[in-house]
Amino acid sequence: MLLKSIRFKIIIWYMLLLSLTLGLFSVLLYKNLSQKLYEDTDDVLQSRAEGIINSIDTYWEAERLDAAKEGINTDVFSKVNNINFTKIAQRWVEERLNDPKLLNIIVRVLDPKGEIIASSKNLPNVHILTAKILKDVISGNKRFDNAALEFRSGKPVMLRVFTIPVVENNKIAYIVQVASQLSIIESALKSLRLILFFLLPLTVFLTGIVGIFLAKIALNPVDKIINTIHQITAKNLELRLALPNSRDEIRRLAETFNDMLDRLEKVFSLERRFIEDFAHELKTPLSVLKGELEVTLKKIRSQKEYESVMHSNLEEVDRIIRIVENLLTMARLESNAIVLEKEPVNLDLLLKVILDDIKVLAQQKNIEINYLPEKDIVVNANNNQLKRLFLNLLDNAIKYTPPKGKVTLELTQEQEYAKVSVSDTGIGIPEEEIAHIFDRFYLVDKSRKSGSGFGLGLSIVKSILEAHKGRIEVKSRLNQGATFTILLPLSPPELKIKIF
């Protein structure tokens, strides 16, 4: 379980990235330090070699001036293959052997053939100046090389060697070769390697240990969230996650979970209420059916009495069927299970057909219906569903409007929407009830309970509108009538208008 946890994965990835970073840093550090140490050694060797050349030349010039005072011809004072120069070079080496500047520095003076003229150390009989190096130096080039020498102890010693030719009259007069042991550099680099070898994994390991504690602290709110979620069931959906004080991703995660729980609680509450209301609505017709059947079976009845009971039972069955059909319609519309066949619908023609169908209900209560149309308003919709929508609204308006009242139906265009308003002079809706009138089985208290509906009409209206990407607005006050406004998207002009 631990190996699959986010905490473990974060620490492993962090340790891998840290290892790569420190490894790259160590390589760069080692290479730069090595290069710097060699460059410093090369600078020292070159400086010492140039100093030796200047010093030997000074000795030689002093010898030449002394010879000139004695009347000796100075033209014979050439450094090339001159026994006197060899003696002067040897004397210089002997006199400068203990010079502090030349401590730990090996000095060799060689002739153009590579033969040793003078040397500051009793070195083994090994030629540092190889044929390849000599050939390059005679060409006038100075160069740095590494050389390995074996002393009597048998242990090889690595030297850094600088070789420089000295030119006189366009000829190589002699060659100066200086060398320094690389043991100090190698020792420093070896120490650095050991430090990096042990320090890098130790650093990664300690960082991983610290990372475990930091990850535990950082993810502690997640553990609390998980524990709280495990406690949440359908019976205690009101339980919420504690929000951490930080303003980070974990807080946003907790807020998102709480928002989801709010929605789930609302859905569960609606479903619970739906089941309760549905059971309540079915209870009445089923109780009537049961009661009438029980009374009928208590004794033998006449044919007329049986027919009366059967008609009453049939009405209750029809009531149940209408409830179920309405619920199925809403469920299918909300889940997009019904694929609506849409077509261009002329609202003016459709509303006139509906008014012809419903005017009988209005006449029974002596209610005046006023229709204010705006022609040629077309929407892309399902004709049967729109007809059901407007029939429900007009039926409600007539049902809750007192006799001799007035219902107004108005059709207009508002920007890219067709606007249909249904107004009445009825009993109205309390402002606090408006937000709930589209809920399933919701009936406004008191006077509305006396109606014959199931509380599903406006729920169906809303479902049909949502399936058509429309919306509905309600304005009403108690005893001052109500206005329902429908907004439907207009049909694209290229679609053909359907004529009823």
The pLDDT of residue 122 is 58
Q: Residue ranges of the alpha helices (H) in 335-371?
A: 347-364
Look at residue 141 and give its three-state secondary structure. coil
pLDDT at 451 over 60: no
CB hemisphere CA count around 302 (13 angstroms): 3
22 and 53, same domain (yes or no): yes
CA–CA gap between residue 330 and residue 141 (Å, rounded):
98
The mean-pLDDT minimum among 129-133, 147-151, 190-194, 342-346 falls in 147-151
CA–CA gap between residue 167 and residue 169 (Å, rounded):
7
* Confidence label for 286 from pLDDT (cuts 50, 70 and 90): confident
pLDDT at 446 over 50: no
* Interval 329-355 mean pLDDT: 80
322 and 449, same domain (yes or no): no
177 and 134, same domain (yes or no): yes
Which domain CATH number covers 261? 1.10.287.130
22 and 155, same domain (yes or no): yes
**Domain span including residue 362:** 343-489
Which of 172, 188, 204 terminates a domain? The answer is: 188
Domain count, the chain: 3
356 and 275, same domain (yes or no): no
pLDDT at 68 over 60: yes
* 422 in any annotated domain: yes
Helix, strand, coil proportions of the chain in percent (round to 5)? 55, 20, 25
CA–CA gap between residue 286 and residue 319 (Å, rounded):
10
42 and 106, same domain (yes or no): yes
326 and 347, same domain (yes or no): no
Is the separation of the CB atoms in 84 and 72 below 8 Å? no
CA–CA gap between residue 259 and residue 242 (Å, rounded):
13
146 and 19, same domain (yes or no): yes
pLDDT tens string 123-164: 655 567 778 888 888 888 999 988 877 765 567 788 889 999
Burial (CB count within 10 angstroms: exposed 0-12, middle 13-18, buried 19+), residue 212:
middle
pLDDT tens string 175-188: 998 888 888 888 88
284 and 349, same domain (yes or no): no
| Neighbouring C-beta atoms of residue 396, cutoff 10 Å | 23
CA–CA gap between residue 309 and residue 315 (Å, rounded):
10
* 134 in any annotated domain: yes
pLDDT at 101 over 90: no
* Interval 296-317 mean pLDDT: 84
298 and 392, same domain (yes or no): no
Task: Calculate the average pLDDT of the chain.
Answer: 82
Is the separation of the CB atoms in 92 and 118 below 8 Å? yes
pLDDT at 76 over 60: no
308 and 268, same domain (yes or no): yes
Amino acid at 277: D
pLDDT at 171 over 70: yes
Which domain CATH number covers 436? 3.30.565.10
293 and 396, same domain (yes or no): no
